[in-house]
């Protein structure tokens, strides 16, 4: 009987305190590009350093996103990747996705994190048609 009571007590304590996971959190916010809301896209948070878990993705709709508590995010530091395409062509610069250095620190509970993305610089020179075919404008 005492073994049963001890087991029951351990189960109740486990239910009250939770199962070994870290402190959960969730996040919502807005994403703008060039001052305008990103109408459709995706945001992904990937844990950095000692932050536990596997991260989480979310859809961006009408400039807003939400990653609910059920996604399993834990308080800590995350790398942020943001993508959006227009007619199948990615228009968000690489510095916000495949070459992202955006980071965010999430606290326990609710977090609000907005991202205002700038257009950045043109990464390649425009090409003009010359007598010898297509040439950069400096020639």
Query: What CATH number is attached to the domain comprising 56?
Result: 2.60.40.10
Residue of 14 and 41 predicted with greater confidence: 41
Task: Quickly list DSSP for 45-92.
Answer: EEE-TT--S--EEEEEETTEEEE-GGG--BSEEEEEEEE-EETTEE-S
Asked whether residue 17 is assigned to any structural domain, the reply reads: no
Please tell me the distance from the alpha carbon of residue 114 to that of residue 31, in angstroms, as a whole number. Answer: 6
Q: Is 45 exposed, middle or buried (0-12, 13-18, 19+ CB in 10 A)?
A: buried
pLDDT at 115: 98
| Residue 69: band (very low, low, confident or very high) from pLDDT cuts 50, 70, 90 | very high
CB atoms within 10 A of CB 25: 19
Asked whether residue 123 is assigned to any structural domain, the reply reads: no
In the predicted model, is pLDDT for residue 38 greater than 60? yes
| Residue 21: band (very low, low, confident or very high) from pLDDT cuts 50, 70, 90 | low
- pTM to 2 decimal places: 0.71
Asked whether residue 7 is assigned to any structural domain, the reply reads: no
State the average pLDDT for the chain.
81
Asked whether residue 128 is assigned to any structural domain, the reply reads: no
Asked whether residue 67 is assigned to any structural domain, the reply reads: yes
Please tell me the distance from the alpha carbon of residue 37 to that of residue 94, in angstroms, as a whole number. Answer: 18
Length of the chain: 139
In the predicted model, is pLDDT for residue 24 greater than 70? yes
Asked whether residue 89 is assigned to any structural domain, the reply reads: yes
Domain count, the chain: 1
pLDDT at 120: 76
The domain of 55 spans 22-117
Cα separations (Å) of 39 from 69, 115, 139? 23, 14, 40
């Amino acid at each position: 009987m005492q073994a049963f009571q001890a087991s029951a007590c351990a189960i109740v304590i486990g239910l009250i305190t939770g199962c070994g996971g870290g402190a959960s959190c969730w996040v919502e916010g807005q994403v703008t590009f060039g001052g305008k809301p990103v109408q459709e896209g995706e945001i992904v948070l990937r844990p950095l350093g000692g932050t536990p878990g596997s991260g989480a993705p979310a859809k961006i709709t009408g400039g807003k996103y939400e990653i609910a508590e059920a996604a399993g995010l834990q308080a800590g530091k995350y790398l942020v990747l943001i993508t959006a395409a227009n007619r199948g062509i990615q228009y968000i610069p690489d510095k916000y996705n495949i070459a992202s250095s955006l980071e965010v620190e999430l606290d326990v509970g609710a977090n609000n994190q907005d991202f205002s993305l700038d257009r950045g610089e043109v990464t390649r020179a425009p090409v003009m048609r010359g007598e010898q075919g297509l040439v950069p404008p400096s020639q």
